[in-house]
Structures are given as C-alpha cells and as structure tokens.
Structure 1
Amino acid sequence: MDDVTRISVTGDRPYDVLVGRGLFDTLPTLVEGAARAAVLYAAPLKQHAGQVADVLAAAGLRPLPIEVPDAEAGKSVEVAARCWDELGAAGFTRTDVVIGVGGGAVTDLAGFVAASWLRGVRWVPVSSSLLGMVDAAVGGKTGVNIAAGKNLVGAFHPPAGVLCDLDLLATLPADDLLAGLAEVVKCGFIADPVILDLVEGDPAASADPAAPVLRELVERAIRVKTEVVSADLRESGPREFLNYGHTLGHAIEKNERFRWRHGHAVSVGLVYAAELGRISGSLDAATAARHSAVLQLLGLPTTYRADAWDELLPAMRIDKKARADTLRFVVLDGLAKPGILSISDEGMLAQAYLAVAAA
C-alpha cells in the first residue's frame, strides 16, 4: 500500500477520508461486525467491484454484488427500490453495510440506499472518480434525482469512512477527470487559492492521474470540504458555500436531461456566479475574469446556449437554497470569501447570464 493521507471529518459522527493507492485492503477495518456487504457498482467498474467483494469475502463477510445503471441514470427512486428489494431478499440487518464502488452517482445512490434501509445502516464509498473523491463521497449527502430536479430526494447520512484510491483515476475517461476538476477549482475560489495557483502553474499535470500535483489538488479540495462539513453537516450555514456555481449548474443538468457531466455544468455555473458577484458589486472584475481563465486552461466549458434562459430560470427557482420567491446564490465577496446573495430581480439574473450565453 502506498503512503496514505488520512483526513478527518469531525463532529457528531466522525470518520476518516483515506487518500492513497491500493486502499482496498483497508475496507475490512471499516466494516467490522457486519455479516453481509452489498457492493453497488455500474458496469464500467465491475472488475474493481469484484476485487472489493474478494477482499470482503476474505475477511469473512458475504458480499452481495448489485449492478446499477451507469451515471445519473442510476440515481432514481426505481433503482433504489430495486436495491432495497435485494437487501430484503438477502436478509440485511442493521449491522450490515452498503459499499458504493464508483463515481459521484453511484456514491449518492449507495448512500441513499444505506440511509433509508432500516432507517440507516453503515456505508462506505470507494470513490473511483475525481468528482466523487472531492465532492460526493465526503460529507454524508445522499440522494436521487426525480423529474422536478437533481438531488431533491435524499438524506444526510455520514459514511463509516471514505476510500479515495488514486489508482482508480487512471480508469477515467479524460472528460470525466476534467469534469471533477471543476469542483476542485470551486474549492480554490471559495477557500484555498493555492489550488488556483497550482492549476495555473501546470494545467497539464493538474489533469494527469499519475502527477503529484493532482494528488495535492485532491487532498486540498478534500480538506476544504471536510472543514466545512465538520462544522455544518446539515447545510444550515457555511455548507451552502460548497454550492458555489451549482444553482445554474444543476439547472443546466436538468435542462440537458443529465446528459451533461456534472462538472461541466458546474463550470458554467461558476462563471455565472462570478458575474453575479461582479454586477452586484461584491466581486472585483479581475477575480471574476479569473474564473473563466482558470477553467479554460483545463478545457472546461464556460458558456451555454443563449436561447436556454427561459428554461433555466424556472429550474433555478426550485434550488434548495431558494426561499419562497427569492433565489439565493453563493457569491464571492473577494477571493476565498464566500457569501450569500438573495435576488428577486430577474433583470439582474438575466444580465449575468449574458456572460455565459453562447451564440
């Protein structure tokens, strides 16, 4: 096993996030006392899910492999219900465990299945994607999508531990790795500007699974998130800042029927949120412009269809940060100084959209 970095989430339900290589053998220590382990995975991760199942079996557990649809297609109530049926048929008890092997979507689904089965059993995400490592796997947010929008049904259910095995990043398509970097860049703007310096200093290494700089980016982004969720598990305060760029991003995902990668949508959302900050007077023009510059260095999208505004605004109105008829956006009051901007002026919202509107 390679050297392992242990990053702790504190609070009422503490756990560790392990970052390193060859981490599968650490799984049995996280699931002591379990007799059964459901291993949720999508088809592209079947081989790795099998390796996880073998490790668990060698430790005396009975693995239950459950294949689910890949990506956002797996994050549905119907898929969750099928998983519940399989847990019931296998006789899963409260001492058993659910393990999600995959990216952000499988992680969200596995956590939700665990949160809802017998009102909560242990779960462990084995994250295979950059997006999962720096976002979905950390913080205990679980959920599925419904027709009205993304992640509108779910629960807060912290895991027993998180495995971020960097070897798995080599299995990712290049676009998926880049999509995860959007969440890393977000962490740079809201809390750790060194992330931005690293990306600007070597964009190619930032997207190289074997490069030390990518490991540093992963660890820095995880530390940003663990610090926030340790203080605010249920998103009643500072945890909202982690939604920087997500209000428009989620609306784009819904509008695209989830065919866009989450990170690509968030990338556009970051540019939009920066422009909102600029025109509201909270953010200087140079920092706003830096958003597009950093994201473009990585090859991430910074624009969306100009004719889509009338479809995006209604989707943003059901964002979980909204209150009555007022939309609330995370904006910056300066680099690494996030705040909340409440807006009911549709004119200002439309004006900001011009910054991301593509011909």
Structure 2
Amino acid sequence: MRENMYKILDILAREIGNPMSINEIKNNIHQIYGSADYKNIYMAIHEMEKTELIRIQSIGRSSIAVLSFENPLLIDMLAEMELRRKTLFLENKQDFQMLLIELSTFLKEFYFIKSISIVNPQRNAKLNRIELLILLKNSKRKGDVDGEIAAVRSIMNALYKKYNIRIDHILINGKTFLELLISDEINVAREMLSNKIVLSNPQTFWIEIMAALKEGMNIKFEEETNPAKISEQDMVYNLARLGYKEIGTKITNGTPISIEYIITSILLKDKSIRRIEAIPIILGKNESHVNYTLLVFLATKFHVLKRLYQILEILDAIKPAEALTHAIEELRNTTVHNVKTRQKEIELNLKDVEKKMRLYDVIE
C-alpha cells in the first residue's frame, strides 16, 4: 500500500493544475513504473483520502484526485517522494552519483540557492547530459547574487571537464519563477516541473508551490515543447502578438508561446533573413518581457547559441538595454565562440536591421 501511495504522489506531483481521474492515475503509473493494478491503486487513493493527503472530487462519472496541501504532512511526504525518485534514478549510474554528490557538496554553502532540481533525468542521462533548475532566494543585494551566480557557473564548467557530462542549467529567483508558473504562455519553467527530481531542499521547493496555490495562483505543469515543431500558425500568431506582423500573412488564433521559445524556434528552423530579422524587433519591443536567462538556456540546449550571440550583439549596437548588455557580457565570459553548433553563422547587416527596426517603430 505504501509503495502505491508514493507512486500516486509522484503522478499527482507531475500533474499540478491538471486534474486526473483514478483511471488516468493508474495509466500513468503503468507508463512510468511498468505495472499498475487498478484495484490496488483505487484502494490506495481512498486510503490517502482518509488521511487527507489527497482530496477526491466528482466530475460527471469520474472521480478526480488532487493533492491536499491543507494537510501539513503532505510536504514531508512529497519530500520523501523526491528522495525515493532520486535513489531510483541514481541506481547503476556511478558517474552521475559522483557528479551529483560533488555538486551538492559545492553548492550547499551558497546562501542564495533555495533548491536544486534535475529535469527530465532519465531521458537526459541517456544523452550523457543533466539539466538543472536552480531556484534562488529573492534579494535586493544584486551584487552578492551575481557573485554567487558566477561562482556556480565556474563550478559547472569544472564538473563538466571532470566527468565529461554536459550540464545545462538555469538560475532563476523565486519571484520570477512563480510569475512564469502562472503565465498564460507556454514557457520553460512550467514544463520543467512535469518531470523533475528535487535534489536539494525538496521541502522548501514544495512549500513554495503550496504557498502559491493557497494564494489562488493558477499553477499548471506541462509537457516539454520542441521549438523545432512549433507550427507556422502559432509562429505567425505569436510574432504578431509580440509586435511583428509579416506583410501578406494571414493571422489566425494560436497558442500563446513565450518569446524565448519563439526566438529559439526561428533560430532552429528558419533560413529566411526576413524571419531572422524579426528577432531584434521583437526583443526591442518586449524589453521588459524577455528573460535572457531562459533565452540563453534554450539557445544552449538546442545548439543555436552562436547565432543568438550574433543577433544580441547587433541589437546591443542599435538599441542597448541593461538586461541585454548584461546577457552579452555573461556570454563573452563563456566559451560562446567555441559552442558546438550544427548551423552556420547568420549573415546579418547592421544597417539593414536598423532600417527594419525603424520601420517597425522600435527605434526613432
């Protein structure tokens, strides 16, 4: 019974914001763990209802189970679930065991780190890669935070050289993280949580989620988006939404997708200079909306960082902004020019980009 309970908690924790029937829970357990018996799952769910770890709601003929964050014991149970998932993942993975032990040892002394999660662990391990979500405490002492961020990046580079395991990571503060979780747009943060293991401070992580839900925030975890497969309809819709309407193109309703995903998709798919030139325009028009941390992460993950770097340098020469300049400085301190890429550099002319930015009223 207890083993089924943790499996149920795991499935429901992956699907925050997506109500699931008992049959859907059983199917998901079968998919992830290899087997599931409906009767045993049904009994475990109703036992968990009695202990108020979950609530069961009736919608039509279906019984929907959701986590009951009103029960203070749930946080501890979720933390134990994360530990179980971590143990299961690391079985027979000696290199990953040693890497994560060193990572935890190095980072435990960092004041501003709130929690560390490993994202899509099984899939990424097959690619000899780990993907980390590092949540930071909110702080007004920007200089101190920047110092820790730089130190974290140095540690990641050292661990990569030692273990030859690629490490992609995002460092993001708690406030920005919650804003992304409740956003109407498809974005990286919401998708990272559908399949993750919290490596450090799992209780702190789940307390953050609990507090947000209790404040009425509509948090929803989602499956990962492949930017190479964003449809042309969604691309045209989002470009228009972000301030770039292509002449002669019919705009129909689409799915709101974050600017970071849209830019990555263009860099991956489009050979047209016209579409490439849309990037500095939408960046210039959405200065307060773009998150360069997420953008650089996606560009690194999908091997288009060199192309992004070219565009950012051109934009900075035409319309500099503090966040943009800061992102470029950070990239210059990395091995950006040696980043592996499957694509050639972009042939963009600064004067042509500047002319088009005037056409779209980005600059005077």
Q: Quick check: TM above 0.5?
A: no
TM-score by length of 1: 0.29
- For the pair shown, the structure with the greater C-alpha radius of gyration is 2
